[in-house]
A and B are shown apart, each in its own frame.
Chain A
Amino acid sequence: MNRTKGDEEEYWNSSKFKAFTFDDEDDELSQLKESKRAVNSLRDFVDDDDDDDDLERVSWSGEPVGSISWSIKETAGNSGSTHEGREQLKSRNSFSSYAQLPKPTSTYSLSSFFRGRTRPGSFQSLSDALSDTPAKSYAPELGRPKGEYRDYSNDWSPSDTVRRLRKGKVCSLERFRSLQDKLQLLEEAVSMHDGNVITAVLIFLKRTLCKEILFRELEVRQVALRHLIHFLKEIGDQKLLLDLFRYLDRTEELALSHYREHLNIQDPEKRKEFLKTCIGLPFSAEDSAHIQDHYTLLERQIIIEANDRHLESAGQTEIFRKHPRKASILNMPLVTTLFYSCFYHYTEAEGTFSSPINLKKTFKIPDKQYVLTALAARAKLRAWHDVDALFTTKNWLGYTKKRAPIGFHRVVEILHKNSAPVQILQEYVNLVEDVDTKLNLATKFKCHDVVIDQIRWKN
C-alpha cells in the first residue's frame, strides 16, 4: 500500500458510489474527475492493471488492446470459462473509460461490483454496442472502437437516455427509480416514436413496477399499452396478458386471447377439453355460439374418427374399401365434415352421429349449403339417383317436381366437373330457367338436343 495520508483521506472520503445529495449534480468535468479518481483508487481490486484511457493500451503481443484480434485471443484464452472471460473483458475495458459503473445510491453492494458485472440493468452487450455501424458500411462490424465508452456519464436526462437507446448504445435505466422519473422516461420514449425503445423502457418498467401500478399508468397511454400487449404476446407471458385484459375490462380480447391457446394443443382430446373451458368465456353473443359449435364439432369428429377407423380396419364396409380415407376428419371445418359424412355415411338414419341429417340439424346448416355439399359428394361417387332424390320434391298435388335452392346452373357445373354422363347433364340443363344461360351451358357441355330445342323454340 503506497498511499500517502492525503491519499488515504481522499480514498476514505470518496466513494465510487455517490451518495444522494441534494445538490445539483456537478458539471460533467468534475464528474469525470470524480470517476477517474474512483477508478484509479480501486486498482487493487482488479486483477489487471489499467491506466488512463488516453494512452493506447497495447497488450504483450503488441496488438492494441481493443482490436479485434486481441479480443479474439482473449476470449480464446478463456475458453474454459467464456462467461468469466467476457465479464473480465468487460470490466477491464470499462475501467479504461470511466466505467459503466452505476452510481445511483449506495445500496449497491460492493460484491456486485467485484463480480465484474458492471451494469445490472443496461441493455447492451459489448460487441454490438460498438457495431454502431455508420451509415456507409455494409459489412457487420465486429471491432470495438476505443472511444465508445468515452461519453458514458451517469446522468442523462430522460430525453438523452432515450436518444442513446435509439442508437443502440449502452444505457442504464436503473437510475430512474421514482415513478415520476419512470413516467417521464416513458413519455420521452413515446415521443421518439421508436417501438424498440418503447419496448425497452416497458421491459424495465415491467420489472420494477408492480403490475397494478403499471396497468394503471398504461391505461391512459395507448401507444405504450399497445407495445406492452404485443410484447407480452411475443414472449408468451399469457398470465400477465390476461391480467392486463382483465384490468382493462377488455373482456372480449381476454376471451380471444384465451381461446387462441387452443392452437397450441395438438392432442384432440386435450383440445376438446380446453375448448370446453372456453365456452364460458365472455365472448360476444354470436362468438359464444361459434365457440360452442367448435366444441361440439370436435367432439363429433373424435367419435366419427374413432368409429370409422375401426370400420376401415375391419374391412367389411364397401365404401371404405372402394374409397379409402386419405386423411383424418379431425379439426376439419364443418363443411368438409359434412362432405365426408355425405360421402361415407349418406344412408344412415338421423340417430347416428355421423349421418348428414344429424349434422345438418345440430349445426343448423342452411339448405343451400347442405344441398351443395351433398350434391358434390354424391356426384363424386357417381350416385346419380341420389342426386335426383336431392332435388325431387312432391308438391301438394302429388306430382314430383325438381327444385334446387342453389340454381341449376351450379348443379350442372358440379355434375360436369364430376364427369356426369350427357343424359344426366342434359336433364339438368333443361331445368335451368334463364334462357341465355341455358344455351351457353348446353353449348359448353355439348348437350346437343337442348341446343337444338332452344333454337327451335326461339324461332
Chain B
Amino acid sequence: MRYIANLVNADKLAGRTRKYKVIFSPQKFYACEMVLEEEGIYGDVSCDEWAFSLLPLDVDLLSMELPEFFRDYFLEGDQRWINTVAQALHLLSTLYGPFPNSYGIGRCAKMSYELWRKLEEEEDGETKGRRPEIGHTFLLDRDTDFVTALCSQVVYEGLVDDTFRIKCGSVDFGPEVTSSDKSLKVLLNAEDKVFSEIRNEHFSNVFGFLSQKARNLQAQYDRRRGMDIKQMKNFVSQELKGLKQEHRLLSLHIGACESIMKKKTKQDFQELIKTEHALLEGFSIRESTSYIEEHIDRQVSPIESLRLMCLLSITENGLIPKDYRSLKTQYLQSYGPEHLLTFSNLRRAGLLTEQAPGDTLTAVESKVSKLVTDKAAGKITDAFSSLAKRSNFRAISKKLNLIPRVDGEYDLKVPRDMAYVFSGAYVPLSCRIIEQVLERRSWQGLDEVVRLLNCSEFAFTDMTKEDKASSESLRLILVVFLGGCTFSEISALRFLGREKGYRFIFLTTAVTNSARLMEAMSEVKA
C-alpha cells in the first residue's frame, strides 16, 4: 500500500495528474484503506475488489493461492482470511448444492465453519431445494499435523515440488532437464498423460515405469517400418502427433528424474531419510540429534536444518533444554545471528519448542487470569492452551497405528496402505484422521485422539439434506486444508479414495511443502 502511495504522491509532486485504479484480489482489507487515507491519496485512487478466490489447479485440486494464510494465522493469530475461506465454501455450496455432512478439526476450521454457516443463513434461498452433489466436507487445520508437512516427500509429484518448486500447477524445468539450452515452463496436471500416471507413485517406481514407457514408445515408432502407404498415412495423420507429444513429455520427465537423482545423491538423501524415519518411529534419537548437529555444522542448508530441528521437536514433544540451547547456538553460528528472530517465531508457532517443566505455563496463566473479567476467563485459558500446543505425537501415533508394522519388505509397487507415500514408514496423520472419521461418520471413538491432539473438533450432519443426497454424491468428499496441503497428502488421499471407493476433492489455501513452511517462519529478509 505504501508503495502505491509513494508512486501516487511522487506523481502529484511532479504535477502529473493521472487516474489510478487499484484492484484488490481477493479481498480488500480495511487496513489498506486506512493507509490510503493516511497517505492522502484516498480520493485519487478508485478501489475495486475482485473476489477471485478459487483456482482450479487440477481436476480434483482447488487452490486459493493464499500462501500468506499460514503465517498470518498460525504465527500472528490474524483471522483475516477466514472470511475468504468462508466465501469460497459458500461459492462451492451455491454451485454444487448444500453439504449435508461436515466435519472438522482445529480452531481455525471451527471458526471458518461457523462463519460459513452465518453466511449461508444470511443468504439463504440460493441453495434451498438443490440436490447436494458433495456428500461430505472435512475441514482441517495445518497445525493438527505439522509432521506430515515437514517430512521429505518421495512421491513423484512431491519430489518435483521439493526440487523444482511447482507454482500454480506449473513448473520451470531448467536446461539440465530439458537437455537443451533453454528452460521450459510445463503445466503439470491430469492432462499430461505421462505425468498423471506417475505423479502418485513412489519414486522408486517412476524410473522403471518411464523406461517401460520409453520402450513402448520406441516399439510404436518401429511399427512404421512394416507399414504400407495407406497404413503410413493413417499413422501420420492420427497417431504420430500423439506419439510425439508423449515422447516430449516422456523425455522431460526422464530428465527431471535424472536431475532429482543427481541432486539427492549429492545431498546424501539416504542418510536424511534414515534420520527422518528414525525420528518418526522414535528410535535412535541421540543419533538423529547428532546428525542434525552435523548438518548444521557443515552449513548444508538453513531451511533443511531448520526443518529437521522442527521435526525432532514435534515428534519428541520439544527438545531437551540442553539440546535446544546447543543446536540454537550452532545454528546461529552457522547461518547468521539474525536467525534469533526465526527461532522466536518457531517457538511461538509451536514448531520448535523446548521441553519446559509443566508449571511454567500455569504461572503465566495464573498471573494474567487475575486481571481477567469472568467473561474473558474462558477465552484466556483457551488462548493459552492453544498457543502452547503440546504435541503428543508418539501417543497419537500408537493410537492410530501411524507406523505400520511390516514383516519383510514393504512392497512399494503395490502399496497396501497410505504409508507408501513415505516409503512405508509412516501414514500421514491428517489422512488417517480423515479416514477414521469418514468410516465412522462422526468422531465417535476418537475422543482420546482428539484430546491428544489438543484441538477442538466438530461434526455436523444436516439430515434433511442428507436424504436428498444420492449415494453417488455421498462418495464425493471435499477436504479443506487450512494453512496448506502437501502433494504427499494429496497422493495418499487419492490412494484412499481408490481403496474405499471415495472420490476426493481438495480445497487448500495453498499448496505447500516443508521448505515453504520454514521460509514462512523465517524472519530474515533474504
Contacts and interface: CB of A to CB of B under 8 A. Distances in A.
B337 interface: yes
Contacts of B23: 140
Contacts of B79: 193-195, 198, 223, 227
A414 to B, nearest CB: 9
Contacts of A233: 76
- Choose among A124, A195, A231, A293 the residue with the greatest number of B CB atoms under 10 Å from its CB: A195
Interface string B31-73: 1011100000011101111111000000000000000000010
Interface in A175-208: 192-200, 203
A334 B344 contact: no
A223 B333 contact: no
Contacts of A372: 297-298
A286 B332 CA distance: 12
Contacts of B112: 193
Given A128-B49, A195-B78, A223-B379, A79 B115 contact: no
B98 to A, nearest CB: 14
Interface stretch (B80-88, B462-470, B476-484): B80-88
Given A131-B49, A199-B29, A221-B376, A227 B299 contact: no
Contacts of A222: 379-380, 383
B77 interface: yes
B126 interface: yes
A196 B27 contact: yes
A219 B29 CA distance: 24
Interface stretch (A256-264, A319-327, A426-434): A256-264
Given A203-B34, A334-B333, A135 B338 contact: no
A309 interface: no
A124 B48 CA distance: 11
Interface string B6-34: 00000000000101000110011111011
Contacts of B77: 223, 226-227, 230
Contacts of B325: 286
A235 B33 CA distance: 12
B338 A294 contact: yes
Given A140-B49, A222-B383, A291 B340 contact: yes
Contacts of B76: 226, 229-230, 233
Contacts of B284: none
B337 A125 contact: no
Contacts, number: 182
Contact of B333 (A127, A135, A203, A333): A333
B83 A199 contact: no
B118 A128 contact: no
B43 A83 contact: yes
A196 B30 contact: yes
A235 B31 contact: yes
Contacts of B524: 263
A384 interface: no
A457 interface: no
Contacts of A194: 79-80, 82-83, 115
A392 B27 CA distance: 66
Interface string A410-432: 10000000000000000000000
A138 interface: yes
A365 B373 CA distance: 51
Contact of A227 (B78, B123, B333): B78
Contact of A127 (B43, B48, B80, B338): B48
Interface residues on B, range: 35 or more
A287 B340 contact: yes
Contacts of A297: 337
A123 interface: yes
Given A194-B80, A369-B297, A335 B115 contact: no
A136 interface: yes
Given A136-B94, A220-B376, A259-B341, A196 B80 contact: yes
A28 B58 CA distance: 50
A300 interface: no
A86 interface: yes
Contacts of A334: 332-334, 337
Interface in B321-366: 325, 328-330, 332-338, 340-341, 344
A43 interface: no
A235 B35 contact: yes
A16 to B, nearest CB: 24
B373 A220 contact: yes
A199 B30 contact: yes
A290 B340 contact: yes
B136 interface: no
Contacts of A229: 76
Contacts of A82: 17, 19, 43-44
B78 A335 contact: no
B31 A335 contact: no
B83 A290 contact: no
A142 interface: yes
Nearest to B344: A256
A168 interface: yes
Contacts of A141: 48
B431 to A, nearest CB: 27
Contact of A220 (B49, B111, B372): B372
B82 A193 contact: yes
Interface string B157-178: 0000000000000000000000
A127 B83 CA distance: 21
Interface in B91-134: 91, 94, 111-112, 114-115, 118, 122-123, 126
Contacts of A252: 344
A133 interface: yes
Interface in A231-255: 231, 233-235, 252
B262 interface: no
Contact of A193 (B72, B91, B115, B328): B115
B523 interface: yes
Given A220-B376, A294-B338, A333-B334, A87 B299 contact: no
A276 interface: no
Contact of A123 (B33, B52, B332): B33
- Choose among A165, A256, A291, A365 the residue with the greatest number of B CB atoms under 10 Å from its CB: A256
A87 B335 CA distance: 54
Contacts of A165: 30
A125 B111 contact: no
Contacts of B48: 127-128, 131, 140-142
Contacts of A124: 33
A128 B340 contact: no
Nearest to B268: A413
Interface in B373-426: 373, 376, 379-380, 383
Interface in B506-526: 523-525
A166 interface: yes
A218 B28 CA distance: 25
B199 interface: no
A163 interface: yes
B81 A128 contact: no
Interface string A137-154: 011111000000000000
A141 B188 CA distance: 32
A307 interface: no
A77 to B, nearest CB: 13
B371 interface: yes
Nearest to A293: B337
A140 B334 CA distance: 49
A288 B336 CA distance: 15
22 contacts: A135-B91, A138-B52, A168-B27, A192-B115, A194-B83, A195-B72, A198-B79, A222-B379, A222-B383, A223-B77, A223-B379, A227-B77, A227-B79, A234-B31, A260-B341, A293-B337, A294-B340, A333-B332, A333-B336, A363-B333, A372-B297, A372-B298
Given A192-B118, A193-B112, A222-B383, 16 more contacts: A75-B19, A131-B48, A135-B91, A136-B94, A195-B72, A196-B80, A199-B31, A199-B78, A203-B31, A220-B368, A221-B379, A222-B380, A226-B78, A297-B337, A331-B336, A410-B294
